[in-house]
Amino acid sequence: MNTTELTALLPMIVVAATAVFLLLVIAFYRQHQVAAGITAVGITASLAALWPAWNAVPQAVTPLLVVDRYGLLLMGLLLFTGLVVTLLAASYWSQRGGQREEFYLLLLLATLGTAVLTVSAHFAGFFLGLELLSVSLYGLIAYPRQTDSIQAGVKYLVLAAVSAAFMLFGMALVYADRGTMFLEQLAAAPGSGLLWSAGLALLLVGIGFKLAIVPFHMWIGDVYAGAPAPAAAFVATASKTAVFAVLLRFFLALHGPQMPSLAVAMTITAVLSMLGGSILVLVQRNVKRLLAYSSIAHIGYALVAFLAGGTGAAVAVAFYLAAYSVTTLVAFGVLMRLSSLAGNGDTDTDADMLDDYQGLFWRQPGLAVMLTAALFSLAGIPLTAGFVGKFMLLTTGVRAQEWLLAITLAVSSGVSLFAYLHWVVVMFRAAPEGMMVVRVKRPLSTTVLATLLLLLLWLGVYPAPLLSLLQNSF
């Protein structure tokens, strides 16, 4: 391996080295803040390593990985997500007992898995990255070792195992038909026989389970509800972004919109996901479940541009994934902050019911404003990142004359708006009698949430720099 290839892989090498170093530190010295600090420094160094890597790409590193600017941009988003979750988790876990250091080790490994997915150019590389991510998530979801979290971890394990089985069988059938597992070679001469069609269908089913889109969304609400808030935040953002990045690369390589059967199947899935996710959020009292079903609808929104095809659609999808990640991190960040407040009653229980947010504006006005902005962004209200993202998706769908998808996006956005506004109304109600106004100074989590809020608004008011960067990467 030459110097250029090592430079291209430098962000992933730094994350892997950080994980090894943290493992050695934990073996000899257990201290929560030290583990969190090592993780944050390692991911920050990996983000810094994107700059030299940017100048070294595109670069094929072994037959399994192709590092290009598209992959590095999405890798940067995933590393940023991992850093934010680390910083928020440091405050979250500081209020809880037990051994907490391994959480950060698992988080580093999961982040490394997402990074591998963004640059995978071969089914083997894709599967290795996916399993590294999935196995780490088993531990992250079940980490508190309580009844609900263990149940959530087992359910996610079952879903991941089913997903892996479908994808492996699909890869085998595709290989039997085409004799290759390289994405570029599959795109050069796509098959049309029974083996090819069946293999492609199985692959999409497996990816559907990973993205938790309709009709592969069973247990996703249970997983989010039982997982600790930092793990749920990572699953909702980094995990979905990484898998969608692979799907986008694969779909564009195969010229998916030009394959009628594939386009029809994905259109049906997108419509069901948008409508199903929007309807399910209306009946939720558990905010983790609400965010879980909201993620189904938002992946459905991203599929609108995904099916439109072309470079413009790829830019719209990438921007929307960035906007959705920032927005969701704000929502989960507020949830984590409230879960750490003494007024929540039980420091081992997350603030995951709507009743926990009643009167939040009068108790914690700053957190209420942040959460309101996040909910407005999820709903697509102007001046937020979510509005610009949805507008781009809708515009792309209309230009491609995907009228069914465009209309469904508009309708489902209106339906889900009621759920988000209900949450906002709850925050501005009078606080229940006897509920204390708790003021806890947590400068780290406050700084992180304030930065995310500014980023959410910046992307909603002035998205041009990010859009220009995305357009130059494709």
Q: What pLDDT sits at residue 141?
A: 92
Mean pLDDT of 305-325: 85
Q: What pLDDT sits at residue 343?
A: 41
Query: Is residue 429 very low, low, confident or very high in pLDDT (cuts 50, 70, 90)?
Result: confident
Query: Is residue 266 very low, low, confident or very high in pLDDT (cuts 50, 70, 90)?
Result: confident
Q: What pLDDT sits at residue 438?
A: 52
Give the Cα separation of 304 and 267 in Å (integer).
8
Give the Cα separation of 126 and 109 in Å (integer).
15
pLDDT digits (tens, 9 = 90+) for 98-133: 678 899 999 999 999 999 999 988 888 889 999 999
pTM comes to 0.94
Q: What pLDDT sits at residue 47?
A: 95
Mean pLDDT of 433-446: 64
Mean pLDDT of 145-158: 85
Position 86 pLDDT exceeds 50: yes
Query: Is residue 279 very low, low, confident or very high in pLDDT (cuts 50, 70, 90)?
Result: very high
What integer best gives the mean pLDDT of the chain?
Answer: 87
Position 342 pLDDT exceeds 50: no
Give the Cα separation of 58 and 42 in Å (integer).
24
**Number of CB atoms found within 10 A of residue 399's CB:** 14
pLDDT digits (tens, 9 = 90+) for 21-73: 999 999 998 888 999 999 999 999 999 999 999 988 888 888 888 888 888 99
Give the Cα separation of 301 and 49 in Å (integer).
32
Mean pLDDT of 430-447: 67
Mean pLDDT of 194-208: 88
Name the more confident of 256 and 418: 418
